[in-house]
A and B are shown apart, each in its own frame.
Chain A
Amino acid sequence: MRHVLSVLVENEPGVLSRVVGLFSGRGFNIETLNVGPTLEDGLSLMTITTSGEEQIIEQITKQLRKLVTVVKVVDLTHLQSVEREMVLIKVNAEDERRAEVLRIADIFRCKVVDVSGNDLTLEITGDQGKIRAIVSLLQRFGIKEFARTGTVAMRRSMQVD
C-alpha cells in the first residue's frame, strides 16, 4: 500500500543522503521525495511517498526516527491530509489541435506557462488522481516533456471521519 510520510529533519549537509541511503541500504523503495526548508530556521520538511506491507512501513518509520538528524516522522496515510503535486507538461499543440488542448487545460485549471508554434507548456497542480487524468487525456496529443515535483502533503486541521 502507498504511504505518504512527512519527515521533519535538521537542515544540514548530508541529511538527504542519510535518508535516501537508509532506503537504498535496507531495500526500501522511494516513489517520490520532496524537500524544502520550513519557516523554522534549521529545519526542513521532506515528503516521502513509498509503498510496502504494514510491517515494512513500520520499519521505515522507525528507522527514519532513529536517524539522529530526523526530528519527527508522521505517516499521513491514515490521517486526513492534503496532497498536492505540481507538474509541468510540454504537449504538442499544432494549430488544428491547439484549441482542444487549451480546453482540457481550462477544465483542469492549468496555467499555460510557455507557448511556441508547435507546443504548449502547462502547469498543473493536484493530487495524484488529477495528474493521472490529465496526463492520460494529453497523451494522445503527444507529450514532449514532463517534469513533476513529487508529492507535498500536510495533515488537515480538522480530522473528520
Chain B
Amino acid sequence: MERTGAQILLECLLQEGVESIFGFPGGAVIDIYHHLPDYPALRHFLVRHEQGAIHAADGYARATGRVGVCLVTSGPGATNTVTGIATAYMDSIPVVIITGQVPTPLIGNDAFQEVDIVGISRPCVKHNYLVKDVKDLAWIIKQAFYLARTGRPGPVLVDLPKDVLQAKTVFEYPESISMRSYNPNLAPNRRQVRKVTELLRRSRRPLVYSGGGVISSDAAEELTWLCRTLRIPVTSTLMGLGAFPGDDPLWLGMLGMHGTYAANMAVGHTDLLLAVGARFDDRVTGKISSFAPSAQVVHIDVDPTSIRKNVNVDVPIVADCRQALRGIREELEICSDLPDWSEAHQSWLEQVSEWQRDHPLRYTFSEEPIKPQFVVEKIYELTKGEAIITTEVGQNQMWAAQFSKFHRPRTFLTSGGLGTMGYGFPAAIGAQVAFPDKLVIDIAGDGSIQMNIQEMATAVSYNIPVKIVILNNGYLGMVRQWQELFYAKNYCATCMHLNPDFVKLAEAYGAAGFRVTKAADVERVLKEAFAVPGPAIVDVVVEPEENVYPMVPAGAALTDMLLV
C-alpha cells in the first residue's frame, strides 16, 4: 500500500517508539497535521511558540533519556527553534527536529516562508538532512534517531518539503543502519584502562570530576560504586548534578565559577583528576594554566574532540562513560594487591572535609526581604530530592544548583552550555509530560521567566501541573552582580522596571498564582502551590541585591574565590 510522505513520517515516529511530539503547525507541515489524528499513540502538544516546542522536547529527552521530538513549520517556525537546537547541541541532548520546507521546485526562490534551515542550523546540530525524495524519507528518519541517541548524543534536524510530504510511496522501515562514516567508539582501550588503575593505586589525593556524559550514558551507578569503593571525593559540573548522591559525605558540590570552596580547593590540590563525561568548559576551569596544577589527568569521553581541546590529558579514554567505568571496575577486581583505600586517602579526605566544614555554602538569613537561597533550601526540604527541578539561567540557576541536593540523574534539567534564558519552563513542561505523576518545579528569575511565559497557555490547556517558583529580585540578577563587582555598580539595563504582576498573569492564563514576601510564609505557600492540581506560579519577592557566592572572577584561578 502506498502512503504519503506525511503518513510515512508518522509511521516512522511510531516505529521509533515516540509518544509525545511538541509542535506548532503551519502551511508547510499541514499534511502531517492532517494525518496526525489517525495516530492516537502520538500525543501532540501544541505550544505557543516554537522555542517552547524545542525546549519541551529537550526537557522530555533529559528527563527520560529518550529522544525528544519537535515538529514545526518552515521559515519562521524553523528559525524559532534555532536557540533551542543550539541549547540541545551544547548539552548533548538527543532531539529530532522536524521542520517543514517549501515544495522542492520553489526551494531557492525566496518562496513564502522559505528559509535555508539546513544551512542555518548546520553549526549547531549533530547532523541534518533535507529530504528531496519521498523514497529517502524512511531511512533518513531512522538515521536521524540513531544519530541523535548514539555516541555523543545531540540534535538532528530533518527538513521536509511540502511536495515530499504529499508524494506517495510504499512504506518500508529499514531494519538496520550501516553508515561507513559514523562509528562511535564505545569500548575503552584495555591498556589505557590498566594505566588508570595503576594511577588510582598510586594516587594519594584523587578527585573525580564528573559531567553530563555520566548522565547521558546512564553511568551514575558505576560512578557511585567507584567513588564509594575507592573513597574518592566527587565534584561535578552543572550538567553532572544528580549523577552522584548529593547527601553522600564524599560529595563536594559543583566546581567552577560558582562552585563550592571545597570542590575548587580540591581541584587545586588533587594529584589525580579523573574527568568523566565532562569537557573542561571555561566556566569550570577558570584560568586554564592553574587548573589542577599538580594533577595527572585522566579524561573519559565518548567524543574524541573533547579530549585535549582545553587541557592536556595524561590518559585519554575515548569510550562510553559507562563502559569505561565498568572497564575500570573489572580491572580493579582482578588486581590482587589493592591498597586499603580509606587508609590510602585518609589525610586527603580529612583535608577535604576540613574545607567543607570551614567554608560551606552560606547566606545570611533574613525574614524580609526573603533570601533566594532560603527558598531553594525550602523547596529541597519539601521535596526531599524527589522532584524534577528545571531552572532558567542566571542567579536562580546557580542557587538552585548550590542549595538543592540531587540524588538521582535526570532530576536536574538546566541549560548548561548555552545558558539559555527561557529554557526552564518549557523544559519543565516536557519533563512533566514524560512523568505526569512527579512534581516538576521550574526555579526561575523574573527576567528569564518572561522569555517563554506564553507557554503558560500550553501548561494550562493540557493541565500540565508544572510549578514555577520565581525568585523575583526585580533585576537581571547575574548581570547586575557582575556590574556590581566588576563594572563600578553601573546597573545599566538590568533593572526590570515594571515587571508584570505574576499572580495576575498566572490567573489570566487560568493557572494559580501566589505571592510571598516573608520567610515565615515560604513553606506554607510552597506547599499550597505544590498541592494545586494544575500549573502554578509562586512569585517570591526576594532580596534585590543578593549575590551568588562563592565566585571565581572570569579568567581567575579556581582557588581565587570571592567568598561571602
Contact for B122 among A9, A21, A62, CB less than 8 A: A21
Most buried by B among A55, A62, A63, A70: A62
Count residues on chain B whose CB falls below 8 Å from chain A CBs. Answer: 17
B118 surroundings in chain A (CB, below 8 A): 14
Q: Is B486 an interface residue (CB 8 A)?
A: no
Q: Write the chain B residue with the least CB distance to A60.
A: B305
Q: Is A10 an interface residue (CB 8 A)?
A: yes
In whole angstroms, how far apart are the Cα atoms of A63 and B119 in the complex?
Answer: 18
Cβ–Cβ contact A63 & B305, under 8 A: yes
Cβ–Cβ contact B181 & A10, under 8 A: yes
Cβ–Cβ contact A59 & B305, under 8 A: yes
Given A68-B127, A68-B179, A69-B181, A58 contacting B119 (CB threshold 8 A): no
Most buried by A among B126, B181, B303: B181
Q: Is B34 an interface residue (CB 8 A)?
A: no
A65 surroundings in chain B (CB, below 8 A): 304
- Near B by CB (< 8 A), chain A positions 9-66 give 9-10, 13-14, 17-18, 21, 25, 55, 58-59, 62-63, 65-66
Q: Is B308 an interface residue (CB 8 A)?
A: yes
A71 surroundings in chain B (CB, below 8 A): 180-181
The proximity string for B residues 299-322 relative to A, scoring 1 for CB distances below 8 Å and 0 otherwise, is: 000011100110000000000000
Cβ–Cβ contact B304 & A70, under 8 A: no
B179 surroundings in chain A (CB, below 8 A): 68
A69 surroundings in chain B (CB, below 8 A): 127, 181
B219 surroundings in chain A (CB, below 8 A): none
- Categorize the interface residue count of chain A: 20 to 34
B180 surroundings in chain A (CB, below 8 A): 71
Contact for A59 among B119, B126, B309, CB less than 8 A: B309
The proximity string for B residues 125-139 relative to A, scoring 1 for CB distances below 8 Å and 0 otherwise, is: 011001000000000
A10 surroundings in chain B (CB, below 8 A): 181
A66 surroundings in chain B (CB, below 8 A): 303-305
Give A139 Cβ to nearest chain B Cβ, in Å.
Answer: 40
Given A59-B309, A70-B181, A18 contacting B304 (CB threshold 8 A): no
Most buried by B among A14, A17, A55, A68: A68
Contact for B126 among A14, A62, A68, CB less than 8 A: A68
Give B279 Cβ to nearest chain A Cβ, in Å.
Answer: 13
Q: Write the chain A residue with the least CB distance to B132.
A: A13
The proximity string for B residues 482-496 relative to A, scoring 1 for CB distances below 8 Å and 0 otherwise, is: 000000000000000
In whole angstroms, how far apart are the Cα atoms of A9 and B182 in the complex?
Answer: 12
Give A10 Cβ to nearest chain B Cβ, in Å.
Answer: 6
Contact for A13 among B123, B130, B309, CB less than 8 A: B130
Q: Is B147 an interface residue (CB 8 A)?
A: yes
Contact for B304 among A9, A25, A62, A68, CB less than 8 A: A62
Q: List 19 A-B contacts (CB under 8 A).
A: A14-B118, A14-B119, A17-B119, A17-B122, A21-B123, A25-B123, A55-B308, A59-B305, A59-B309, A62-B304, A63-B305, A65-B304, A66-B303, A68-B127, A68-B179, A68-B182, A70-B181, A71-B180, A71-B181
Interface residues of A (CB under 8 A from B): 9-10, 13-14, 17-18, 21, 25, 55, 58-59, 62-63, 65-71
Interface residues of B (CB under 8 A from A): 118-119, 122-123, 126-127, 130, 147, 179-182, 303-305, 308-309
Other A-B pairs beyond A14-B122, A63-B305, A71-B180, 16, CB < 8 Å:
A9-B181, A13-B130, A14-B118, A14-B119, A17-B119, A17-B122, A58-B308, A65-B304, A66-B303, A68-B126, A68-B147, A68-B179, A68-B181, A68-B182, A69-B181, A71-B181
